[in-house]
Copies of this chain bind each other. A is one copy, B any other.
Amino acid sequence: MTASFGDGLDVVYTITASADAVAARAQDIAIEQTVEVTPALCADPFVATHVVGRVVDIVPAGPNRFDVTLSYAGDVVGDEIPQLFSVVFGNVSLKAGVRVREVRPSSSLVARFPGPRFGISGLRDRLGVHDRPLVMGAVKPLGRTVEELAAFAGAMATGGLDLIKDDHGITDQRFAPFEARVAACAAAVAEANRRTGYRTLYCPTVTGPADRLLARSCFARDAGVGGLLISPLVAGPDFLRAAAVQTGLPVIAHPAMAGAFLASPDHGMAHGVLLGTLMRLAGADMVVFPGWGGRFPLTRDDCGAIDAALKCPLHGVASAMPVPAGGLTLERIDEMRALFGLDVTFLIGSAVYERSSDLVANAAHFRHLAACGGGAR
* Partner-B contacts on A (CB < 8 A): 28, 32-38, 40-42, 44, 46-47, 50-52, 75-76, 78, 80-83, 85-87, 89-96, 138, 140-144, 167-169, 171-175, 207-211, 213-214, 231, 234-239, 241-242, 245-246, 255-264, 267-269, 290, 295-298, 326, 349-350, 353-354
A209 touches B143 (CB 8 A): no
Pick from B32, B35, B90: contact of A234, CB under 8 Å: B90
**How far is B212's CA from A246's CA once the two chains are assembled, in angstroms?**
12
**Chain B contacts of A47 at CB under 8 A?**
141-144
Give the residue name and chain of the B residue nearest to A290 (CB): B94
Query: In whole angstroms, what is the CA distance A258 to B94 when docked?
Result: 7
Q: Which residue of B lies closest to A208 (CB)?
A: B80
Q: Is the pair B238, A238 in contact by a Cβ cutoff of 8 Å? A: no
Task: Evaluate whether A257 and B93 lie within 8 angstroms (CB atoms) in the complex, with A47-B141, A211-B245 already known.
Answer: yes
What number of copies of this chain does the assembly contain?
2
Distance of A81 from chain B, by nearest CB (Å): 7
CA distance A353 to B43 in the complex (A): 13
Q: Are A214 and B214 in contact (CB under 8 A)?
A: no
**Do the beta carbons of B173 and A76 come within 8 Å of each other?**
yes
Q: Are A86 and B236 in contact (CB under 8 A)?
A: no
Distance to closest chain B CB from A205 (angstroms): 10
Alpha-carbon distance between A171 and B348 when the two chains are bound, in angstroms: 41
Task: Check if B35 sits within 8 Å of A141, measured CB to CB.
Answer: yes
**With known contacts A46-B143, A83-B171, A260–B267 Cβ distance under 8 A:** yes
Known interface pairs A34-B142, A75-B174, A349-B37. Does A239 touch B210 (Cβ–Cβ under 8 Å)? yes
Asked if residues A264 and B262 are in contact (CB atoms below 8 Å), the reply is: no
CB atoms of B231 and A209 under 8 A apart: no
Do A171 and B262 touch (CB < 8 A)?
no
Name the CB-closest residue of B to A94: B259
When C-beta atoms are compared, the residue in chain B nearest to A35 turns out to be B141
**A34-B141 Cα distance, complex, nearest whole Å:** 8
Contact (A51, B86) CB under 8 Å given A93-B259, A260-B267, A350-B38:
no
15 A-B pairs within 8 Å (CB atoms) are namely: A34-B169, A35-B141, A41-B350, A42-B143, A47-B144, A75-B175, A80-B171, A80-B172, A81-B209, A82-B209, A91-B169, A94-B259, A94-B290, A236-B237, A263-B268
Residues of B within 8 A of A143 (CB): 34-35, 42, 44, 46-47, 50-52, 76
B-chain residues with CB within 8 Å of residue A75 when the two chains form the complex: 173-175
* Contact (A211, B80) CB under 8 Å given A41-B141, A47-B144, A349-B36: no
- Closest Cβ neighbor of A87 among chain B residues: B169
Are A95 and B350 touching (Cβ within 8 A)?
no
- Which of B50, B241, B264, B295 contacts A263 (CB under 8 A)? B264
Cα separation A51 to B140 with both chains bound (whole Å): 12
Chain B residue contacts of A32, Cβ below 8 A: 295
A209-B82, A267-B264 known; A296 and B94 CB under 8 Å?
A: yes
List chain B residues, Cβ under 8 A from A34.
141-143, 169
**CB–CB B259/A92 < 8 A:** yes
Residues of B within 8 A of A263 (CB): 93, 96, 264, 267-268
